[in-house]
Amino acid sequence: MSQVSETTRTIRVDLGDRSYDIAIGPDLLDQAGALIAERLGERHVVIITDSNVGPLYAERLEESLAKAGHTGRTIQIEAGEQSKSFIYLESLLDDLLSEGLERGTVLLALGGGVIGDLTGFTASIALRGIEFVQIPTTLLAQVDSSVGGKTAINSPHGKNLIGTFYQPRVVIADTSTLTTLPPRELGAGYAETVKYGLLGDAEFFEWLEQDGTGVLSGNAGIQTRAIVRACEMKAEIVNQDERETGRRALLNLGHTFAHALEAETGFGGTLLHGEAVAIGMVLAFDLSVTLGLCPAEDAARVRAHFEAVGLPTTLPSHPSDKWDAQTLIEHMSRDKKVQAGRTTFVLVRGIGDSFLTNEVGHADLVQLLDNMAATA
Ligand code: NAD
Ligand code: GLY
């Protein structure tokens, strides 16, 4: 019998024998033990969490797991992007192996995208692969990173360059955990939520223009509706293109610019990832307008909405120097999405109509970035 309450929505990611559910709703931490037992039976579960999320939610989760018959323990890691590194990976693997890790052990990621990416990567390589579960606690992780099986750590050569595609067994998004998320983190996750409207659902964007402030003010019903729509879209895209050979790359709208901005300002520094993505999406719309592909009023609507909700639409001051178009383009050329030396961009024909191209001219890019730098 299902333990899921009536307020919980379930979305299926359909990948054959790697299919799984995304459960979305309030107070799901208390049902997590049962939701896992229904799918995996009673197991030894190791919770991996960070130093902000652990003190808030680990005990409740441990109780939920014990009540459903699971055994286990919790490993707490320092919060922050630096944890997605070889050093933390090694120390986590060492901790797991020193306690006698078994093939049947399940890793449970309790936290934001950092914990989700590190735990997923660890699960994919420990004992050649053990099962893992995502319990995302940031809006960004609930609408994006916990779904779709991208796992990663960073390298000195760039972000997310070392990783695997490895799907979780279930994603449990407890919307109540968003009540403790710092407002700036909520805003960053909101940018990734808007992304779905901009890349493929104009009606969703229109709804966010009307009601999106409810996501940021903590309206639980509006938050759930936004997360559900984002996860439906992400699941549909991942179902078609799990390993990003084509359509999945649309999820990178704004990201090629964002990664360049983050590389210049320091990852996890001046700009949060979602904030950099907001600026990146403004740049993608501006570039599409310049190339005669997209109506100027659509780009204006995107900028106006981000301004209305307090997301950045222009470059912040450069941390050490001035912004330089050539340097940003060099960062873009190191992107994972470069093919045969050409950077792939997600551009738009309008709100809700995105496409991939590697035909963006160098001069157009320099002009776009110079214009943006002039307003910083
Ligand atoms: P994060 O995991 O660093 O979390 C942001 C901050 O919020 C941290 O300080 C964390 O401790 C804190 N926090 C988390 N949940 C909280 C809660 N409920 N209450 C209070 N504090 C809480 O960052 P993020 O924005 O969730 O994720 C960013 C990471 O995700 C990046 O490393 C990025 O590369 C990755 N990412 C991965 C994918 C993917 O598909 N795998 C997609 C997008 C982003
Ligand atoms: N966050 C982009 C993806 O999952 O493909």
Say how many C-beta atoms besides its own lie within 10 A of residue 139's C-beta: 30
Contact 187, 309 (CB under 8 A): yes
Buried b (16+ CB within 10 A) or exposed e, 263-295: bbbebbebbbbbbbbbbbbbbbbbbbbbeebbe
User: Domain 9-179 is in which class?
Assistant: alpha beta
DSSP H helical segments within the chain, as ranges?
32-40, 53, 59-67, 86-98, 113-125, 139-140, 183-200, 202-211, 213-217, 220-240, 255-265, 273-290, 296-308, 325-333, 362-374
Model pLDDT, residue 261: 93
Residue ranges around ligand 2 (CB below 6 Å): 144, 148, 150, 244, 248, 251
Model pLDDT, residue 13: 98
The dotted CATH code for 183-374 is 1.20.1090.10
Task: Assess whether pLDDT exceeds 90 at residue 310.
Answer: yes
**CA dist., res. 337 & res. 305, Å (int):** 28
320 confidence band (pLDDT: 50, 70, 90): confident
Task: Assess whether pLDDT exceeds 70 at residue 2.
Answer: no
Q: Which atom of ligand 1 is nearest to the CA of 51?
A: 11
Provide the angle, in degrees to the nearest 10, between the axes of the packed helices 325-333 and 362-374.
130
Nearest ligand atom owner, CA of 253: 2
Model pLDDT, residue 5: 64
pLDDT in tens, 37-90: 999 999 999 999 999 999 999 999 999 999 999 999 999 999 999 999 999 999
CATH 1.20.1090.10 intervals, the chain: 183-374
Model pLDDT, residue 4: 57
Task: Assess whether pLDDT exceeds 80 at residue 338.
Answer: no
DSSP 321: S
**CA dist., res. 143 & res. 226, Å (int):** 8
pLDDT in tens, 114-150: 999 999 999 999 999 999 999 999 999 999 999 999 9
Which of 189, 79, 177, 195 lies closest to 135, judged by CA?
177
CATH 3.40.50.1970 intervals, the chain: 9-179
Task: Assess whether pLDDT exceeds 60 at residue 337.
Answer: yes
Model pLDDT, residue 322: 85
Residues with a catalytic annotation lie at: 128, 150, 192, 234, 244, 248, 252, 255, 259, 273
Ligand 2 centroid distance, CA of 169 (Å): 18
6 confidence band (pLDDT: 50, 70, 90): low
Which of 88, 238, 56, 67 lies closest to 154, judged by CA?
88
Name, in order, each residue with C-beta under 8 angstroms of 78's C-beta and a sequence gap of 6 or more: 50, 51, 88
Task: Assess whether pLDDT exceeds 70 at residue 12.
Answer: yes
Provide the angle, in degrees to the nearest 10, between the axes of the packed helices 273-290 and 362-374.
120
Name, in order, each residue with C-beta under 8 angstroms of 292's C-beta and a sequence gap of 6 or more: none
Question: Is pTM, for the whole model, over 0.85?
Answer: yes
